[in-house]
Structure 1
């Protein structure tokens, strides 16, 4: 049985929007602005270990295209990760939720273009291990709403933006989570790992 793991970077007030500053958000670019060399070194090591331990990647179309453009070009340095991480991203089975993508250019990519909840539920039955979700915040919200997400790994950056899109902006119901682990990364980042508590309300 597969386990869907949402792996995200966020500011202290929960903003996930435009970490690299490429989307035109006025406060974008916080990923590199508020993380030092040791922070990013530990972040990259964690990201590599996470990808190597996963069995599949689940993405929305835009996030898939963002990663694919960098991985195919070999420019893994764009996202401050190792060559090993980029190689794993290229080789790992990838599933992209999209009603418009017909001919994916990234290797080992399968498009899920039907009933998303049904197809992702089937994917969880088929994959034995972790299914990582990067970016893809519209998809992430749907996974949480449909109770399909099993774990949330949140790397918190030491800045408050005060505005911007958050993972839980559109959550319409109470979602209990269980804290599994917290650890410091580098000098200023903190990784929180939570399990979603399914079928319960506080």
Structure 2
């Protein structure tokens, strides 16, 4: 059975995004190419990406332009190409069409569709951003692995990652600290 893996940057006080929608809620992130490389290596093979509408639209606006930009940094272009090749499942009641290659919009039940995706053939499934999606999947016990990039910032306010989720346990798989102050934490769901 495929695993669902969540990847999110979080502030020390538990927010995954700021309230600044103009910058996709990423204005306090401390970017570090070494962290991105480590997360990519520890995440394993994934061929499907689950997103909510807001995260999908932000990703599409951010990553698609790198595909045809001859001046795009090699690393960013590689990420854009990898995301483009992944099957993107967008859960939305409002989004009617998607222009990004390999994207499917589902206006149905998230939990039943996630269970079905886990049973399909293929590599693991990734969820990024998409706070309400993460909250629903976490509450249902459908996320198998949690990868956090703990950013060395107390945000003070923002969008909490686990709002309205009951307590559940995790087992630490790996923890790595970086010169930038970021810490990558990889947990598995305790079963």
Please confirm whether the aligned pair reaches a TM-score higher than 0.5, indicating the same fold: yes
Tell me if 1:46 matches 2:38: yes
User: What does residue 171 of structure 2 align with?
Assistant: 178
Q: 1:124 to 1:185 in 2, by over 3 A?
A: same
Q: CA deviation at 1:167?
A: 1.0
**Number of equivalent positions:** 189
* Secondary structure at 1:161 match in 2: coil
Query: Residue 126 of structure 2: which of 132, 153, 157 is its match?
Result: 132
User: What does residue 15 of structure 1 align with?
Assistant: 15
Q: CA deviation at 1:74?
A: 1.4
User: What does residue 104 of structure 2 align with?
Assistant: 110
User: What does residue 136 of structure 2 align with?
Assistant: 142
Unaligned ranges ≥5, structure 2: none
User: What does residue 194 of structure 1 align with?
Assistant: 187
Tell me if 1:72 matches 2:60: no
Q: 1:95 to 1:50 in 2, by over 3 A?
A: farther
User: What does residue 114 of structure 2 align with?
Assistant: 120
User: What does residue 29 of structure 1 align with?
Assistant: 27
User: What does residue 154 of structure 2 align with?
Assistant: 160
Q: In the aligned structure 1, how far is the partner of 2:186 from the partner of 2:19? A: 20
Q: CA deviation at 1:51?
A: 7.3
* Secondary structure at 1:100 match in 2: coil
Q: In the aligned structure 1, how far is the partner of 2:54 from the partner of 2:21? A: 15
Give the alignment's TM-score, normalised by structure 2. Answer: 0.86
Q: 1:95 to 1:24 in 2, by over 3 A?
A: closer
Q: 1:64 to 1:123 in 2, by over 3 A?
A: same
* Secondary structure at 1:74 match in 2: helix
Q: Encode CA deviations 1:138-197: one digit per residue, 9 max, x unaligned.
A: 1000100111111110011112123322112211x2211111110113331100111112
What is the alpha-carbon root mean square deviation over aligned residues?
2.8
Q: In the aligned structure 2, how far is the partner of 1:50 from the partner of 1:95? A: 22
- Determine which structure has the larger strand proportion and give its number: 2
* Secondary structure at 1:114 match in 2: coil
Q: In the aligned structure 2, how far is the partner of 1:138 from the partner of 1:46? A: 26
* Secondary structure at 2:127 match in 1: strand
